[in-house]
Structure 1
Amino acid sequence: MEPQKGNLYLIPCTLGDTPPLEVLPLLVKKAVEHINHYVVEHEKNARRFIKSIDSKKIQGDLIFQEINKFTNPEEIPQMLNPCFQGFDVGVLSDAGCPGIADPGASVVQEAHKRGIRVVPLVGPSSILMAMMASGFNGQNFAFNGYLPIDKGERKTTIKRLEKLSIEYDQSQSFIETPYRNNQLLESLCSTLHPQTMICVACDITLPSEYIKTASAGDWKKIKVDLHKRPTLFIIQK
């Protein structure tokens, strides 16, 4: 008789060095306590997070498989093999919720194909938390990932997103590599209509959290250093 299939747990983690149980529910701790098989972005980060949740966890018992943009799609099905041996598997992002702007979504897709139960757990998502705090349209919004690095392409993309915001009353959110945050904010201020609103949500859930919504024109007068700080930008006209 074959063992009952294990479940695939989507385990949120903190968005920075916040004590885990300040932002994560008890159910996350219980999941980490009983799961030893994990699909993660980076093993080192995952081990650190698991230790912060359960300091008594025997690290030698943990089995990790890494998934990132370099992962061969053909490798993904085997990541779920423990489920067919009766073990639960946990998916961990480096920050926030797995499967949201995260390579773990590929494992979730494969789990559905193979009849494995997917269990999403509650935790912080910078995308949703920024939307909550922005004051923008939470009924209709889009996350666009990274904008182009090339200045010309980036300007074109910003104008396109502003147009979408106007046409569909849709909030447009995106991120940037943290060391280019200041340059992106400058591009937004110089490219957008002065009355287009910009929300800057930085270091969400951390002691240094900074969230502010103002017009592009007003942002030109605001001094803030976003360098190397995880930041989410949202615009709406």
Structure 2
Amino acid sequence: MQDEALNNAAGCLYVVATPIGNLDDITARALRVLAEVQLIAAEDTRHSSRLLQHFSISTPLVACHDHNERAQSSSLLQRIEQGANVALISDAGTPLISDPGYHLVAQAHAAGIKVVPVPGVSAAITALSAAGLPCDRFAFEGFLPAKEGARQKYLQRLTQESRTMIFYEAPHRVLGSVRAMAEVFGGERQAVLARELTKTFETIKRASLADLAQWIGADTNQQRGECVLLVKGVDTKAATDEISVDTQSILKLLCNELPLKKAAAMTAQITGVRKNLLYQWGLDNLASS
């Protein structure tokens, strides 16, 4: 079935998903759209030209990436308003998902231009489908901050997240991020490293954060390629049950003399309850008392 918009006089913007590794994952509709539009806006034209050459598609390419997207958008929208159909693609997967394209799509809507999604692969959903973690509700967090302090603070804000969390991570930072997650969420929390999805060396490893950090640290091959990290959310009922009335009393008494962070650390040593859980309980229950 042909896309109606391709046959209309008015142009439109297609947001086209491309493979994250295995080229066979591209859809027939994506191939047709990429072949029939007048222009393709690509994150990296050199990278995308190889994809187009593989499928014998000769549509012209123009660069649209993080550094030029705002400036490039006006030119692309002008082409569409003049009747051209334009496809937006990223280097791999679905555009805008931790990739460029937000400003172009937002401005297209503001200008009254029709935006048409052409769905396909997304690394986040691909990883979630094979992770074996709860997937009825999940939170996509994208890339963590690169600096250690900022990363730690970001993870601290997620200590009470009950949904499965999905992160993208650069290979040279994946070990540090898993270690930080083990420290903040607790080493026993279940997690998954999904690496090089759909490619030759695809790896999906499910383990506790502590074991996952040890496994990655022992094998430098696991610190290469495209990485998705998934972490099981906190069991809110179990977490609440874990802090007994006696434990709450100890924390309250220590908070009378110490800052909450130090009081939580000392209470953890006394009771064996996780420090981060105690700290969050204190924020939720003692801040206003």
TM band (smaller chain): 0.7 to 0.9
Q: Which residue of 2 aligns with 1:44?
A: 46
TM-score, length basis structure 1: 0.84
Name the CA shift for 1:158/1:5 in 2 (closer, same or farther; >3 Å).
same
Q: Which residue of 2 aligns with 1:34?
A: 36
Task: Trace 1:13-28 onto structure 2 (pairs within 5 A).
Answer: 13-16=18-21, 18=22, 20=23, 22-28=24-30
**Correspondences of 1:14-163 after superposition (within 5 Å):** 14-16=19-21, 18=22, 20=23, 22-53=24-55, 55=56, 57-58=57-58, 62-64=60-62, 66-71=63-68, 73-161=70-158, 163=159
Q: Distance in 2 between matches of 1:74 and 1:47?
A: 22
2:160 is aligned with 1:164: yes
**4+ aligned runs moved over 4 Å, structure 1:** none
Q: Distance in 2 between matches of 1:12 and 1:213?
A: 27
CA 1:35–1:197 in structure 2 vs 1: closer, same or farther (change >3 Å)? same
1: distance between equivalents of 2:214 and 2:70? Answer: 47
| Structure ranking higher on relative contact order (CA contacts 8 Å, 6+ apart) | 1
Question: Partners in 2 of 1:32 and 1:110 — Cα distance?
Answer: 21
| Structure with the higher helix share, 1 or 2 | 2
Structure 1 unmatched ranges of 5 or more: none
Q: In the alignment, which residue of structure 2 is the partner of 1:233?
A: 229
Q: Report the count of equivalent residues.
A: 223
Task: Quote how far apart the aligned CAs of 1:124 are.
Answer: 0.9
Structure number with larger C-alpha Rg: 2
- C-alpha offsets along residues 144-199 of structure 1, whole Å, 9 cap, x if unaligned? 222222223322322322x132xxx2122212222222332333334431221111
Matched, 1:216 2:209: yes
Give distance in 1, aligned partners of 2:118 and 2:51. 16
Query: Kindly tell me: are residues 217 and 134 of structure 1, through their superposed partners in 2, closer, same or farther at Cα, counting changes over 3 Å?
Result: same
| CA 122–72 in structure 1, closer or farther in 2 if over 3 Å, else same | closer
The alpha-carbon deviation at position 84 of structure 1 amounts to 1.9
**How far is 1:26 from its partner?**
0.9
Provide the TM-score with structure 2 as the length reference.
0.70
- Offset of residue 220 of structure 1: 4.5
SS at match of 1:79: helix
Q: Structure 2 matches for 1:194-205, cutoff 5 A?
A: 194-205=187-198
Find the aligned partners of 1:107 and 1:100 in 2 and give their Cα distance: 14
Write the letter of the residue equivalent to 2:51.
F
Residues 220, 84 of structure 1: CA spacing in aligned structure 2 closer, same or farther, 3 A cutoff? closer
Q: Name the amino acid aligned to 1:30.
A: R
2:283 equivalent in structure 1: none
Residues 203, 231 of structure 1: 8 Å contact kept? yes
The percentage of aligned residue pairs carrying the same residue is 25
1:68 Cα deviation after fit = 2.3
User: Does structure 1 retain, via aligned residues, the 8 Å contact 2:42–2:61?
Assistant: no
Taking the aligned partners of 1:93 and 1:200, their CA distance within structure 2 comes to: 23
**Shift, 1:116, TM fit:** 1.7
Cα deviations across residues 59-111 of structure 1 (Å, max 9, x unaligned)?
xx6141x2222226354222122222222100010111112222112211111
Aligned residues of 1:164 and 1:170 also touching (Cα < 8 A): no
Alignment-mate amino acid for residue 94 of structure 1: D
1:10–1:121 CA contact under 8 A, matched in 2: yes
**1: CA distance between counterparts of 2:144 and 2:213?**
20
